[in-house]
């Protein structure tokens, strides 16, 4: 079975500082996507960033970037200049089929921003 | 309305009741999903519909019955549920193979 592991149930960071959330996954595929989703206290899950495994370059979206280590099967999320609105549960997800319909989610990391 | 909407947002039902959850997507996507989110557990994929055809049933008990009449609407019919079925039920849609967009969820409590 596909597995996605988020080893940090909770993290906290000072406002304006940088924080990195870790994620590891298990796969035998060579070409796939990886996703980070954010679920704020209002519960609407939204996509933060995605990475395509065949791309060498790490994905970046404004203050959010990933450190993708394909050989190590590691996909960490870095949040720079943390803001109060970044407080949420963050889920790493890996698709177990080529069409990305069958997503396996990690257990999540609860991020707290300290003013 | 934009994105993915779900109704009702909250639902309390007895174990002998029959109720339905509704999901609608306004994004023109071709796939829709039901997930169950319980406390301290990973998000669990329940059903996948691709072009209105069910392509995944993740060993879900028959007391949960999905229906996808068209590519924009998805229902989850509930009957004779158990207290352990209490959870947040999330609907999502996607234009395969792109990322999934989620609705706000229905908080279900079974008494």
Q: Give me the mean pLDDT over the A31-51 stretch.
A: 90
HEC per residue, B50-81? ECCEEEEECCCCCCEEEEEEECCEEEEEEECC
* pLDDT for res B9: 95
* pLDDT for res A64: 97
CA B92/CA B34 separation, integer angstroms: 7
Q: Give me the mean pLDDT over the B56-81 stretch.
A: 92
The answer to whether B102 and B90 have CB atoms below 8 angstroms apart is yes
What percentage of chain A reaches a pLDDT higher than 70? 95
User: What distance in Å separates residue B61's CA from the closest CA in chain A?
Assistant: 18
Nearest by CB: B56 against A37, A102, A108: A102
The answer to whether residue A109 neighbours chain B at the CB level (below 8 Å) is no
pLDDT at A2 over 60: yes
* Mutate: best of B100, B103, B108, partner A, most A CBs <10 A: B100
Q: Give me the mean pLDDT over the A63-78 stretch.
A: 95
The answer to whether residue B103 neighbours chain A at the CB level (below 8 Å) is yes
User: What distance in Å separates residue B20's CA from the closest CA in chain A?
Assistant: 20
Would the CB atoms of B99 and A42 count as touching at under 8 Å?
no
CA A61/CA B25 separation, integer angstroms: 25
The answer to whether A111 and A11 have CB atoms below 8 angstroms apart is yes
The token pair that represents B80 in the structure block: 């004779």
Is residue A31 very low, low, confident or very high in pLDDT (cuts 50, 70, 90)?
confident
Mean pLDDT computed over every residue of chain A: 91
- Could you tell me which of A28, A83, A36, A91 has the C-alpha nearest to residue A61? A36
**What CA–CA distances, in Å, run from A107 to A3, A104, B33?**
10, 10, 19
CB-side exposure of A112: number of CA atoms within 13 Å?
A: 7
* pLDDT for res A1: 60
CA B45/CA A111 separation, integer angstroms: 24
The answer to whether residue A1 neighbours chain B at the CB level (below 8 Å) is no
The answer to whether B29 and B95 have CB atoms below 8 angstroms apart is yes
pLDDT at B1 over 70: no
The answer to whether residue A11 neighbours chain B at the CB level (below 8 Å) is no
A chain contacts of residue B101, beta-carbon cutoff 8 Å: 47
More confident residue, B1 or A2: A2
Q: Give me the mean pLDDT over the B78-89 stretch.
A: 95
pLDDT at A58 over 60: yes
Mean pLDDT computed over every residue of chain B: 92
HEC per residue, B9-28? CEEEECCCCEEEEEEEECCC
* pLDDT for res B41: 84
* Mutate: best of A32, A44, A88, A94, partner B, most B CBs <10 A: A44
pLDDT in tens, A71-112: 999 999 999 999 999 999 999 998 877 666 788 899 999 999
**What CA–CA distances, in Å, run from B57 to A40, A68, B7, B46, B81?**
28, 31, 22, 6, 18
pLDDT at B91 over 70: yes
């Amino acid at each position: 079975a596909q597995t996605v592991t988020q080893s940090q149930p909770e993290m906290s960071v000072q406002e304006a500082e940088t924080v990195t959330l870790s994620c590891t996954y298990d796969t035998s595929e060579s070409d796939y996507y990886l996703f980070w989703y954010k679920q704020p206290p209002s519960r609407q899950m939204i996509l933060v960033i995605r990475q395509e495994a065949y791309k060498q370059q790490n994905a970046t979206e404004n203050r959010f970037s990933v450190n993708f280590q394909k050989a190590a099967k590691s996909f960490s999320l870095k949040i720079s200049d943390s803001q109060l609105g970044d407080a949420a549960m963050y889920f790493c997800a890996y698709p177990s089929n080529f069409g990305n319909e069958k997503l396996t989610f990690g257990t999540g990391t609860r991020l707290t921003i300290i003013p | 309305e934009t994105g993915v909407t779900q109704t009702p947002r909250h639902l309390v039902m007895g174990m002998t009741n029959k109720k339905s959850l509704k999901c609608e997507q306004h994004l023109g996507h071709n796939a829709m999903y039901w997930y169950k989110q319980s406390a301290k557990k990973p998000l669990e994929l329940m059903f996948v519909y691709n072009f209105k055809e069910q392509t995944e049933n993740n060993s879900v008990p028959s007391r949960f019955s999905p229906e996808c009449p068209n590519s924009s609407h998805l229902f989850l019919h509930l009957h004779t549920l158990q207290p352990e079925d209490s959870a947040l039920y999330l609907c999502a849609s996607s234009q395969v193979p792109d990322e999934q967009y989620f609705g706000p969820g229905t908080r279900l409590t079974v008494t």
